């Protein structure tokens, strides 16, 4: 457990308040400008780091209750070509992948596969365990992996990250399988640890009635917990797999119950009252308030994603096609204030395109370069022909409004009027796909070097192709595209770092986007609970908790 001084909590609170109040006071205005708030007190709060506790060694008959924000539409999304956050959290307890990634040691570890090797740049061979039992009691064999890969990952998920990089799988013998990819990326091995790459058998799917049926009745997989019951609109219950193959694992809880409540305050109160053990994915803007509560544990952590402010340069772009306008906006922004509001003071302003979790991270900006320069911004606007100011529109979902409000005040100082557009989710997605904005805040997770994670907004396939990314610059060039491909395919970490630095400098030189902050996640859980661990994308791993 560590103590952390939070510098800007009064500012964050003021920003959130300004969204609901009829009128704004001076304190919220000052906060938006990055200035001092009425309260200059600094709150000292305690937060628990994830992935730090020792593994559990006991089994009990107790039940773990996990409060999630929403109910998924399926519990095995890959079978119907989708992934949902809550579905991945639940599915991780039921499904095992070929390998697993240890977020404490940052190492790939054996799971269903004991050994693996790259046969060549695009063929990955796995040697399977011979002691794994599936949920129906049958042993795991290579044909199960072939079925899962060819019939589920590829046929049902051709347009998403689960299937679009795969060619197919073949069995060499009963416990050896080779998976072929359609592009070169050594980090595909790490990607294979994700929940959506969990293995099921054809017999399990057929017993459930088919892929559609197993998505909501997932009696499948070989994980530490098995599906028991789904009370639609209320809860999902899993039960411990008493025949789990990994004898080094001990599931403390006999059952895990997931409940669904969109009201974050209600999820937190359920933990305080003892009705729930975990309130997952709480608003980061309120994290310090939770952390000051001695009756619960609070965890706040990054998950490898950096938020960027993208400048539209596509077909529908307006003034942001002008590089001087982009530079002017960048100079006018108070990046420290933006980061403090966006992360509740738990992360600093980004000094690179890349998230600090990347093994090729280097700082490409100095703190001085990120300082506010209103006069410099005004001079650039005058050079661009906008001495009298201009208006731009930022598109975003409701949760980014506090950050956009800070930007709005920053830009006003330079004579730029920022209009904030926060439609409903469907309209946001339509506008973000179509490039109907001047500015948009979206991020990527480049710590894993796959095509879906490394600068997807600047890949030609996404910009000029079927539009597989939401937001971004809606623009790229051959140099960006080829260098990104090199970075993804480079096996040598030092060479990858050089390529990453080159890309970072290209983004900086052309002001393609402004780097804002590392995104954070926050959860609240019972005081006597240990074993808060994470999986991909910062999702909680519910299988490791104990008292």
Question: Taking a C-beta distance cutoff of 8 angstroms, is the pair 340, 12 a contact?
Answer: yes
The burial class, CB within 10 Å (0-12 / 13-18 / 19+), for 160 is middle
Distance CA 472, CA 439 (A): 9
> Which structure tokens are listed for 246?
């990994």
Complete DSSP assignment for 495-520: HHHHHHHHHHHHHHHHT-EEEEEEEE
* Apex 355 CA angle, 12 and 66, nearest 5: 60
Distance CA 47, CA 2 (A): 6
Yes or no: domain 63-273+529-544 corresponds to CATH 3.40.190.10: yes
Q: Which of 66, 69, 67, 88 is nearest to 77 (CA)?
A: 88
Residue 106 CA to its chain's centroid (Å): 17
Q: How far is CA 94 from CA 132, 209, 364, in A?
A: 14, 19, 42
DSSP 370: G
- Its CATH architecture, for the domain 303-521, is Roll (3.10)
> Which structure tokens are listed for 325?
């306008």
Question: Taking a C-beta distance cutoff of 8 angstroms, is the pair 180, 154 a contact?
Answer: no
The pLDDT of residue 145 is 99
Three-state DSSP at 150 gives helix
Question: Taking a C-beta distance cutoff of 8 angstroms, is the pair 319, 438 a contact?
Answer: yes
The pLDDT tens digits along the chain (547 residues) read: 333 333 333 333 333 322 222 333 333 344 444 443 333 333 456 799 999 999 999 999 999 999 999 999 999 999 999 999 999 999 999 999 999 999 999 999 999 999 999 999 999 999 999 999 999 999 999 999 999 999 999 999 988 889 999 999 999 999 999 999 999 999 999 999 999 999 999 999 999 999 999 999 999 999 999 999 999 999 999 999 999 999 999 999 999 999 999 999 999 999 999 999 999 999 998 888 899 999 999 999 999 999 999 999 999 999 999 999 999 999 999 999 999 999 999 999 999 999 999 988 999 999 999 999 999 999 999 999 999 999 999 999 988 999 999 999 999 999 999 999 999 988 999 999 999 999 999 999 998 999 989 999 999 989 987 656 889 999 999 999 999 999 999 999 899 999 999 999 999 999 999 999 999 999 999 999 999 999 999 999 999 999 9
Question: Taking a C-beta distance cutoff of 8 angstroms, is the pair 497, 320 a contact?
Answer: no
* Apex 344 CA angle, 339 and 348, nearest 5: 35
Mode of pairing for the β-strands spanning 390-395 and 416-421: parallel
Question: Taking a C-beta distance cutoff of 8 angstroms, is the pair 171, 177 a contact?
Answer: yes
In what order do the strands lie in the sheet containing 123-128?
113-118, 123-128, 176-181, 166-173
The pLDDT of residue 32 is 42
Mode of pairing for the β-strands spanning 296-311 and 439-444: antiparallel
The pLDDT of residue 467 is 54
DSSP 196: G
Q: How far is CA 354 from CA 73, 201, 469, 471, 498, in A?
A: 33, 39, 18, 18, 13
The pLDDT of residue 378 is 98
Mode of pairing for the β-strands spanning 176-181 and 123-128: antiparallel
Complete DSSP assignment for 95-106: ---SEEEETTTT
The pLDDT of residue 143 is 98
Distance CA 526, CA 116 (A): 39
Distance CA 386, CA 486 (A): 39
Calculate Rg over the CA atoms of the chain: 24
What are the residue ranges spanned by the domains of the chain?
63-273+529-544, 303-521
The alpha-helical segments, DSSP class H, found in 21-113 are 26-32, 85-94
């Amino acid at each position: 457990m560590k103590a952390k001084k939070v510098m800007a909590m009064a500012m964050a609170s003021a920003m959130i308040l300004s969204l609901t109040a009829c009128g704004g006071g001076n304190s919220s205005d000052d906060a938006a400008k990055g200035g001092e708030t009425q309260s200059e007190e600094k709150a000292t709060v305690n937060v628990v780091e994830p992935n730090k506790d020792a593994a559990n060694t006991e089994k009990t008959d107790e039940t773990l209750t996990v409060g999630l924000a929403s109910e998924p539409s399926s519990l095995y999304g890959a079978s119907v070509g989708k992934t949902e956050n809550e579905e991945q959290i639940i599915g991780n307890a039921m499904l095992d992948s070929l390998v697993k990634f240890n977020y404490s040691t940052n190492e790939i570890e054996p799971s269903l596969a004991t050994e693996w090797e790259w046969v060549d740049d695009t063929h990955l061979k796995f040697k399977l365990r011979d002691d794994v039992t599936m949920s129906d009691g049958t042993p795991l064999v290579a044909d199960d992996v072939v079925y899962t890969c060819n019939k589920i990952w590829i046929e049902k998920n051709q347009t998403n990250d689960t299937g679009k990089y795969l060619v197919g799988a073949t069995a060499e013998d009963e416990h050896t399988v080779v998976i072929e990819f359609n592009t070169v990326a050594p980090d595909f091995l790490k990607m294979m640890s994700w929940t959506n790459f969990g293995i099921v058998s054809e017999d399990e799917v057929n017993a459930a009635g088919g892929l559609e049926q197993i998505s909501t009745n997932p009696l499948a997989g070989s994980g530490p917990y098995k599906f028991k019951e789904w009370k639609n609109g209320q809860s999902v219950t899993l039960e411990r797999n008493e025949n789990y193959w990994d004898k080094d694992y001990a599931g403390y809880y006999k059952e895990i119950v997931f409940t669904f409540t969109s009201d974050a305050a209600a999820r937190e109160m359920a933990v305080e009252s003892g009705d729930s053990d975990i309130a997952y994915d709480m608003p980061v803007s309120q994290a310090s308030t939770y952390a000051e509560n001695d009756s619960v544990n609070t965890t706040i952590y990054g998950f490898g994603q950096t938020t960027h402010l993208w400048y539209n340069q596509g077909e529908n772009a307006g003034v942001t096609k002008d590089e001087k306008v982009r530079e002017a906006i960048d100079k006018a922004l108070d990046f420290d204030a933006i980061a403090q509001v966006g992360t509740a003071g738990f992360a600093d302003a980004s000094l690179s395109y890349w998230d600090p979790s990347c093994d090729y991270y280097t700082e490409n900006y100095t703190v001085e370069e990120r300082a506010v320069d209103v006069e410099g911004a005004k001079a650039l606007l005058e050079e661009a022909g906008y001495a009298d100011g201009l208006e731009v529109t930022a598109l975003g979902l409701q949760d980014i409004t506090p950050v956009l409000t800070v930007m709005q005040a920053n830009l006003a100082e330079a004579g730029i009027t920022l209009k904030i557009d926060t439609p409903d989710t469907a309209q946001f997605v339509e506008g973000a796909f179509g490039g109907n904005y001047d500015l948009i805040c979206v991020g990527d997770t480049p710590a894993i070097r796959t095509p879906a994670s490394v600068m997807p907004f600047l890949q030609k396939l996404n910009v000029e192709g079927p539009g597989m990314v939401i937001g971004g610059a809606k623009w790229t060039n051959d140099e960006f595209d080829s260098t990104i491909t090199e970075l993804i395919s480079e096996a040598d970490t030092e060479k990858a770092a050089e390529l990453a630095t080159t890309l970072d400098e290209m983004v900086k030189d052309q002001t393609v986007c402004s780097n804002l902050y590392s995104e954070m996640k926050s959860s609240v859980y019972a005081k006597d609970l240990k074993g808060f661990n994470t999986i991909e994308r910062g999702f909680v791993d519910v299988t490791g908790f104990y008292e």
